[in-house]
Amino acid sequence: MKGRLWLKTILQSYNIVNMVNKAIDNRVNEQSIMSHLHTYGYDDTLELTETIINLIERKKNLLLIKSLVDDCLNFIDPEFSKLLVLFFIDCYSQVDIAKIFNLSRRTLQRRINKGLDMAVDFFIKNGYSYNVLEKMFAKESWLIGMYNDNVSKLSSKYHNLKIETNIQKIKFKNPILQSVYFDK
């Protein structure tokens, strides 16, 4: 169940990753520029360096996931990867996808679930179980929020799958900017 929830979240976030990476690049540039404008002591320089390294690590993880999704979609049966892309990445409704492929909604749902199972297997075989993904993205509040939204859509008996975080409350209207600028 958690594996499917993570795959849904990752597929839904696929198009957002580029925006987050650009925001991370901007933050690294700002930090670098700020380092030239101020005279820092050893502790300040160390903190600045750690901040930049952490931001680069976040970007590396996001790029890795995007690459894994691409590999996964190329690996699984094209019939299923098309459905996953249309539903999770391109945000088509199930009704529209069913019309495109001339399927009943129930058949479409079964195929989407089978595609998700294939994708979960691919991720696990490549060393990315839900535990690994949870650790990798523990500081990505926007991604954890998307994951928890997916959990909330399930019946209440599954709400214990939500991930609790100590990340500060969002101050920006745009949660992606908040995660880049304030989550550590």
* Exposure string for 106-144, b = 16+ CB within 10 A, e = fewer: eebeebbeebbebbbebbeeeebebeebeebbebbbbbb
pTM of the shown model:
0.72
Of the pLDDT bands very low, low, confident and very high (cuts 50, 70, 90), residue 53 is: confident
Q: What is the pLDDT of residues 105-153, one digit of tens each?
A: 999 999 999 999 999 999 999 998 888 888 888 878 888 888 888 888 8
- Tell me the residue range of the domain where 80 lies: 2-182
Q: Which two tokens stand for residue 99?
A: 């019309």
Of the pLDDT bands very low, low, confident and very high (cuts 50, 70, 90), residue 50 is: confident
Residue 169 has pLDDT above 50, yes or no: no
Which uninterrupted H or E stretch holds 7?
A: helix 2-13
For residue 23, the one-letter residue type is: A
Count how many domains the chain has: 1
- Give CA–CA dist 142/167, Å, rounded: 10
In which residue are the tokens 């690459």 written? 67
Residue 171 has pLDDT above 60, yes or no: no
Q: How deeply is 16 buried, as exposed, middle or buried, from its count of CB atoms within 10 A (0-12, 13-18, 19+)?
A: middle
Residues 6+ apart with CB under 8 A from 26: 180
Q: CA angle at residue 83 from 17 to 3, to 5 degrees?
A: 60
Of the pLDDT bands very low, low, confident and very high (cuts 50, 70, 90), residue 46 is: confident
